[in-house]
Structure 1
Amino acid sequence: MAMKAPASSNSYLLLAPLALLLLAAVVFLLPSLNGARVGSDGLGVLCARRSAGAEDYTVAAPAAATAKEEEEEEKPELSLLVGVLTMPKRYERRDIVRLAYALQPAAARARVDVRFVFCRVTDPVDAQLVALEAMRHGDVVVLDGCEENMNHGKTHAYLSSVPRLFASAPYDYVMKTDDDTYLRVAALADELRGKPRDDVYLGYGYAMGGHPMPFMHGMGYVVSWDVARWVSTAEEILARNDTEGPEDLMVGKWLNLAGRGRNRYDLKPRMYDLSWDMDNFRPDTVAVHMLKDNRRWAAAFSYFNVTAGIKLHHLSP
């Protein structure tokens, strides 16, 4: 079927092999984390093609579900976009994080989509390999016009692009998180389920200057769709050059100056940094941060019984 192209903007670019060769924008659609559709095979692909000076979009997708199957599927109570900000060369880390999400229990009656978010991929080797990831997994978003540095505007580019990228199917909430954070999706969905759908700012709150949580820790925070939409149009952020600096503090500054995100929720201590000794895991964890190497990821998987019951069989020579 044919779809209209989204409004063009130089603030974002979606990466795919055709984009690398033809500079066309391409979106790969990721299944939601709601049970049977977690896998990445049989993805529908939204591909750009140019004709007569216009840009149209065609969709190649798996066979449509039957009416009965659609009726049986539960309508989600909430929807959440999780943007994992990462860097092109961190291939092994992304493989681990993908498994961390794919192997989790489904979040009941929630649509949760995960995207790995890059700035412009300029290295030709990375461009080819990231393109392969996009083809295989369908979860790559590349932002144009930002540097691959957390404190030089990447978070602003992400939050301001989301309302345009997903204008046809808005989410209730948008999350920014990192590739060293283990997010337990069902626990977060449960936290969001009873919250308002507007003016929300939720995460690990920092106390500062007598205020209980003027900003949320960069390990991962959630804003409602209307807040992300406001960021995308807030010219004052750019006028003040407030995209430069510690990204989590800057997000709090934007919202505080504009009186946005007034429904604030602190998930401490269920969101936390893993200690040096890796001995402070909590059974009620929503997100644990500082998983900087494979040893720490393995400790998290062990604590949360991700691989419980799995035995590795060694063949004798």
Structure 2
Amino acid sequence: MKTSRPDRRGFIIYSFFFICFLCALASINEVRFDSLLKFGRCALSNINAPNSTSTANVLLAPNSSSDDEIRILFGILTLPDQYHRRHFLRMIYGTQTPVGASVDVKFVFCNLTKEDQKVLVALEIMRYDDIIILNCKENMNKGKTYTYFSSLPEMFNDTKGPNRPYHYVMKTDDDAYFRLQSLVDSLKPLPRQDLYYGYVIPCPSMDPFVHYMSGMGYLISWDIVEWIRESDIPKNHLEGPEDKIFGDWIREGHRAKNRYNAKWSMYNFPEPPTRCTHELWPDTIAVHLLKNQEKWITTLKYFNVTDNLKPSKLYHIP
């Protein structure tokens, strides 16, 4: 007796209706039109996919939201003529890819004063787009920090455009090395409002509510940036050691109820030893006072920054 072949077409139709039934159960409470569209995609994808399990995982995976990602403006205060230092720091920060945050590294200085600056800095902007030129005269203790912070709300006020406000703003020096992933990880559990973050001065102090944060690098939340622009307290108190003056603003304005002392993950380079230094160690966010190439190389070698160099026939580095 000849065995009859299974009805393949009937089997496919049966499978289709069975999958439709399962999808209907999953979306029984959803009556909106967009839910019906999802229902249709669910049925079709399960029929056509060679591996229904992996397809379902893709469909059900949550969409990544940029709103959940920390946005940091990382401002390095420097001078217009420091071309070589900027190119060097572009390598340092351009090879770091922190997870969980968008970190925009910008070089910050005052108005250009020489013809060569106007050409060379313009070329840098055209090539890298990572420079902020403030409307001020270069200075150390006569308001550059105020101009930096107070200028940002007008620069970054496109709530839905390319220049959106940030969650945090960093001010640091061009002789400091930050490990961006360590910085991001330390920020994740912290508030995004009324925050003042850094290395407490004086060196032996561990209380961020007594004095102020060192100029090696400190970070504030965007609401404090907006307050600096709007308040008369900073405007009336500009001259003096800028990081100490900044601490005065915060105290007089009763700001920064949330403070974070990142000591001893932030510290000065070990040599020469002072109360602000210790040896390089793995739990590091920032190393400061890298005043020469030797100190930079020592620091970069310690943290194995070239470990991810891809092998290639084009070069050999022992």
Please report the RMSD computed on the Cα atoms of aligned residues, expressed in angstroms.
Answer: 2.4
For residues 99 and 110 of structure 1, the distance between their equivalents in structure 2, rounded to whole angstroms, comes to 19
Q: Number of residue pairs matched?
A: 241
- 1:253 equivalent to 2:248? Answer yes
Letter paired with 2:245? M
Determine whether 1:77 maps to 2:87. Answer: no
8 Å CA contact 1:77, 1:193 repeated in 2: no
Q: Is residue 238 from structure 1 mapped to residue 235 from structure 2 by the alignment? A: yes
Moved more, 288-297 or 220-229: 288-297
Q: Structure 1 segments of 4 or more deviating over 6 A?
A: none
Amino acid across the alignment from 2:262: L
Secondary structure in 1 aligned to 2:71?
strand
Does the 8 Å CA contact 2:206/2:261 hold for their aligned counterparts?
no
Contact 1:81 1:171 (C-alpha < 8 Å) held by counterparts: yes
The question of whether the paired residues in 1 share the 8 Å contact of 2:178 and 2:286 is answered with: yes
Which residue in 1 is equivalent to 2:292? Answer: 293
What is the CA-CA distance between 1:234 and the residue it aligns to?
1.3
Q: Does 1:195 align with 2:190?
A: yes
1:260-289 residue CA offsets vs partner (Å, 9 max, x unmatched): 012111000100110226982121110111
Paired residues of 1:74 and 1:109 also in contact (CA < 8 A): no
Match of 1:218 among 215, 220, 229: 215
Q: Distance in 2 between matches of 1:162 and 1:272?
A: 28
The one-letter code of the counterpart of 2:231 is A
Instruction: Write the mapping of 1:128-207 to structure 2, written as runs, cut at 5 A.
Output: 128-144=119-135, 146-168=136-158, 169-207=164-202
Q: CA deviation at 1:236?
A: 2.6
Alignment of 1:272-283 (within 5 A): 272-276=267-271, 280-283=279-282
- Relative to its length, the structure with more helix (as a share) is 2
309 and 186 in structure 1: CA distance in 2 versus 1, 3 angstrom threshold? closer
- Aligned residue for 1:112? 103
SS in 2 for 1:212: coil
Comparing both chains, which one has the higher relative contact order based on Cα–Cα distances under 8 Å and sequence gaps of 6 or more? 1
Instruction: Pick from 115, 119, 122 the counterpart of residue 124 of structure 1.
Output: 115
* Shift in alpha-carbon separation, 1:163–1:304, aligned structure 2, 3 A: same
Q: Is the 8 A contact 1:80 1:173 kept in 2?
A: yes
Greater mean alpha carbon deviation, residues 292-301 or residues 116-125: 292-301
Q: Is the 8 A contact 2:213 2:243 kept in 1?
A: yes
TM-score normalised per structure 1:
0.71
Alignment check: 8 A CA contact 2:266 2:285 kept: yes
2:263 matched to which residue of 1? 268
Corresponding residue for 1:5? Answer: none
Q: Write out per-residue CA displacement over residues 88-131 of structure 1, whole angstroms, 9 at most, x where no aligned residue.
A: 11111111111110112x22221111110010111111221111
For structure 2, the 5+ residue unaligned runs are: 1-58, 159-163
Query: Counterparts of 1:313 and 1:172 in 2: how far apart (Å)?
Result: 42
- TM-score, scaled to structure 2: 0.71
Give the deviation of 1:212 after TM superposition: 2.3
Q: Distance in 1 between matches of 2:300 and 2:128?
A: 22
Q: Measure, in 2, the Cα distance between the counterparts of 1:83 and 1:156.
A: 13
| Residues 165-210 of structure 1: per-residue CA shift (max 9 Å, x gap) | 10111111111011111011111111111111111000001249x9
Larger radius of gyration: 2
Q: Which segment is superposed worse, 74-83 or 260-269?
A: 74-83
Letter of the structure 2 residue corresponding to residue 160 of structure 1: S
In structure 2, C-alpha distance between the alignment counterparts of 1:97 and 1:73, rounded to whole Å: 30
